Structure 1
Amino acid sequence: MSTFNVPRKEEVNSTNQAIFDSLEEALGFVPNLYATYAHSNNALQNYLNFANAKTSLKAKEKEVVNLAVSQVNNCIYCLSAHTAIGKMNGFTEDQILELRAGKASFDNRLDALARLARNITENRGATDNDVLNNFFEAGWTKENLIDTIVLVGDKTISNYVHSTTKVPVDFPVAKPLEAVEA
């Protein structure tokens, strides 16, 4: 059981209260994981600035990375959130399960991205040369590589926050990956 409460708006500083208002307006609610960042007076704003920074990756491509990284890091919160976001970005349930396994048989370019994100995460940045070469052969650039590494770091932060705090998942819980071979 979690020893971390999910702070309510009246329990956080004025900066975080304003962010809660913005999140409620944009999403209809404040996700528990974001609220948990608000235990710090600065972390929520810092994280959102980082997560929402400009990147060469499109929204759908970011979800490929988010799903692969969250699976390697075994973060049920992020898997659940990014399953929902992945569906909003046009992925099917089967495609999402495949992306979580670090592959995409339905799209060669996304396959190279998923394999790279998984490999970077599993190997803590010591990327396999074959995986990296496949990424470039699929048409990705050095800019895309750096942006992917930054996104792996972004997602790993949230994975670790949830793994440590274990705040309740407030998205439909992601299905187990058991049916998909990596």
Structure 2
Amino acid sequence: MSRLNVLSPDDVPDGTKRILDNVGAQLGFVPNMFATLASNPTVLEAVTTLQSTLGRVLDAKTRHTIALAVSQANGCDYCLAIHTYVSSELGGMSSDDIDLARAGSSIDPKRAAVARFAQQVVASRGQVSDADLAAVRGAGYTDPQILAIVTVAVQVLLTNFINNVNQTDINIPAVNSAGTPG
């Protein structure tokens, strides 16, 4: 059961309703995380603006891979469920690639390097080694792209922390042990 209060739909301010409507239009439903964030319109706007802005860095499968790898590293069941859903239903990722991303890998060698690097960023709290940087560079990532990888990882950490604190009720298909909706 979620531990933070959620506003009733009648109590959500108009500007916040528009944000929730946009999220619902994109995903086909409003995930409970966004309904929870609606109780603080500034935080909701910050999270959705950051997500929208970061939608312009890296390709979608790479961003999904980072989200899955980071959410697994943080043990965020809610984020694993939503990122599995989005990666599968909207991102075109196979269940095998979703499973691999959660494990810090990928069927694509370049994305595998990103998944490992993102999990290392989390595990080391950003104190990655020279070897970690060399590995992601060796996979073909430039320094500006590495900045994007770290920023996407931190954005995912933000929502992981919010959902872990809240123990947000999962209102999307749960993630089973195979990493697929079910």
- In structure 2, what is the Cα distance between the partners aligned to 1:32 and 1:77? 9
Residue of structure 2 equivalent to 1:83: 84
The residue correspondences of 1:58-97 to structure 2 (distance < 5 A) are: 58-88=59-89, 89-97=91-99
How far the C-alpha of 1:156 sits from its partner, in A, is 0.6
The residue correspondences of 1:128-143 to structure 2 (distance < 5 A) are: 128-143=129-144
- In structure 2, what is the Cα distance between the partners aligned to 1:9 and 1:154? 26
- In structure 1, what is the Cα distance between the partners aligned to 2:39 and 2:24? 18
Asked if the contact 1:119–1:128 (Cα under 8 Å) also holds between the matched residues in 2, the reply is no
> What do the CA deviations read for 1:123-173 (whole angstroms, capped 9, x no partner)?
110112222111111111111100111111100111011111112111111
> What do the CA deviations read for 1:34-73 (whole angstroms, capped 9, x no partner)?
1111111211111111111054311111001000000011
Residue of structure 2 equivalent to 1:42: 42
- In structure 2, what is the Cα distance between the partners aligned to 1:56 and 1:121? 19
- In structure 1, what is the Cα distance between the partners aligned to 2:178 and 2:121? 20
Residue of structure 2 equivalent to 1:160: 161
Unmatched 5+ stretches in structure 2: none
Unmatched 5+ stretches in structure 1: none
Q: 1:25 to 1:92 in 2, by over 3 A?
A: closer
RMSD over equivalenced CA pairs, Å: 1.6
Identity %: 29
**1:82 maps to amino acid:** H
- In structure 1, what is the Cα distance between the partners aligned to 2:23 and 2:10? 15
Residue of structure 2 equivalent to 1:25: 25
TM-score (norm 2): 0.90
- In structure 2, what is the Cα distance between the partners aligned to 1:56 and 1:62? 8
- In structure 2, what is the Cα distance between the partners aligned to 1:174 and 1:145? 29
- In structure 2, what is the Cα distance between the partners aligned to 1:157 and 1:31? 16
How far the C-alpha of 1:14 sits from its partner, in A, is 2.0
How far the C-alpha of 1:177 sits from its partner, in A, is 6.2
**2:45 maps to amino acid:** Q
How far the C-alpha of 1:26 sits from its partner, in A, is 2.7
When the two structures are aligned, how many residues end up with a matched partner? 177
- In structure 2, what is the Cα distance between the partners aligned to 1:71 and 1:96? 11
